[in-house]
């Protein structure tokens, strides 16, 4: 059970805002060494300054988590400064919507690059370091938390590229958990599946690399963006509350971490449909007016 945090090292991607920043703030209060990683330099610098003000040891690195070489450089820098990290929060994420056939190649490359490959790089680089530290010290403990989404457990329409990326993160993390259990009792993993929480992810285009620039948005993408912004901005659970739930889960050795446990009903319905061989359930069964509005908006421009 993880109960010791002071003096331990945490690597946090997407640390400049949202869940990442709030996880970093809890880590600051617990006296942890921090490796803050973000692609947005001004947000990263603000987080670094806050950590220094809190009096903790900090390494801040501007990294595009989708870039293998940059992530390899990060891992080397962490090893040189702090040794193997005790905690890795593969948290960086971006969002894109629209009808799945309307997403461009650049959309797929950008979203999968950050949401999936960023997690893959974090797992492939830091897990061996953690296992080596565990093998050298029977008292050493480590944990990896990968940020997925409720969209990794469901398939809401008009956001297919995001769904695919987050389903892959859930599968990757479940497999990581099982693989770790084969080889050690000292390192484990959890997956975070938040619902609609105000984090700034609906404005993630601000950090989209120019070589993967979006084309002119389609009607479905504009509708998806508007719906996402409305849902995220109206969220009642804060990023700080979700970050606290992450630390609670670490202490309780829980794998699945939810921001909105009451929203799991549709997950159960989807699982039942899969087992029964039934067609996917209506995602708007609880709010039919939303489904009617979305269908009307999309069919009016067909």
Helix (H, G, I), strand (E, B) or coil at 23: helix
| Residue at 231 is within a domain | yes
Radius of gyration of the chain measured on its C-alpha atoms: 19
Kindly state the helix (H) or strand (E) to which residue 37 belongs, with its residue range: strand 33-38
- Catalytic annotation present for 177: no
For the segment 70-75, the average pLDDT, to the nearest whole number, is: 98
Share of the chain above pLDDT 70, in %: 96
| Residue at 64 is within a domain | yes
- Least Cα distance to 92 among 61, 59, 122, 118 occurs for 118
| Residue at 61 is within a domain | yes
- The reported pLDDT for the residue numbered 217 is 86
Q: What is the mean pLDDT of the chain?
A: 93
| Residue at 296 is within a domain | no
For the segment 206-226, the average pLDDT, to the nearest whole number, is: 85
Query: Which residue in the list 162, 177, 256, 258 is annotated as catalytic?
Result: 162
Report whether pLDDT(235) > 70. Answer: no
- The reported pLDDT for the residue numbered 79 is 98
- The reported pLDDT for the residue numbered 1 is 64
Host domain of residue 101: 9-262
Helix (H, G, I), strand (E, B) or coil at 192: strand
Q: Domain total for the chain?
A: 1
Tell me which range, 2-11, 74-83, 96-105, is most confidently predicted by mean pLDDT: 74-83
| Residue at 292 is within a domain | no
| Residue at 281 is within a domain | no
Whether 256 and 145 have beta carbons less than 8 Å apart is answered as: no
d(CA 203, CA 201) in angstroms, rounded, equals 5
Q: What CATH number does the domain containing 152 carry?
A: 3.40.50.720
| Residue at 279 is within a domain | no
| Residue at 2 is within a domain | no
């Amino acid at each position: 059970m993880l109960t010791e945090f002071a003096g331990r090292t945490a690597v946090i991607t997407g640390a400049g805002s949202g869940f990442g920043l709030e996880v970093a703030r809890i880590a600051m209060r617990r006296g942890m060494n921090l490796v803050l990683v973000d692609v947005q330099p001004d947000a990263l610098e603000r987080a670094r300054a806050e950590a220094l003000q809190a009096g903790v040891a900090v390494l801040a690195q501007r990294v595009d988590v989708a870039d293998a070489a940059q992530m390899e450089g990060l891992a080397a820098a962490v090893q040189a400064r702090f040794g193997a990290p005790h905690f890795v929060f593969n948290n960086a994420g971006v969002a894109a919507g629209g009808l799945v056939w309307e997403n461009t190649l650049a959309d797929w490359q950008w979203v999968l690059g950050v949401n999936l490959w960023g997690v893959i790089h974090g797992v492939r680089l830091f897990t061996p370091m953690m296992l080596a530290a565990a093998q050298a010290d029977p008292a050493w403990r480590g944990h990896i938390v990968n940020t997925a989404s409720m969209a990794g457990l469901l398939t809401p329409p008009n956001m297919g590229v995001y769904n695919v990326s987050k389903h892959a993160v859930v599968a990757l993390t479940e497999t990581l958990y099982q693989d770790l259990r084969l080889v050690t009792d000292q390192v484990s993993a959890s997956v975070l599946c938040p619902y609609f929480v105000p984090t700034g992810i609906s404005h993630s285009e601000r950090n989209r690399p120019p070589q993967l620039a979006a084309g002119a948005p389609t009607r479905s993408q504009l509708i998806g963006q508007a719906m996402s912004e409305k849902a995220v901005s109206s969220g009642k659970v804060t990023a700080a509350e979700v970050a606290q739930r992450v630390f609670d889960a670490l202490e309780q050795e829980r794998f699945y971490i939810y921001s909105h446990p009451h929203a799991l009903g549709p997950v159960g319905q989807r699982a039942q449909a899969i087992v029964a061989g039934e067609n996917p359930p209506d995602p708007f069964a609880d709010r039919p007016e939303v489904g009617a509005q979305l269908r009307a908006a999309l069919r009016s421009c067909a």
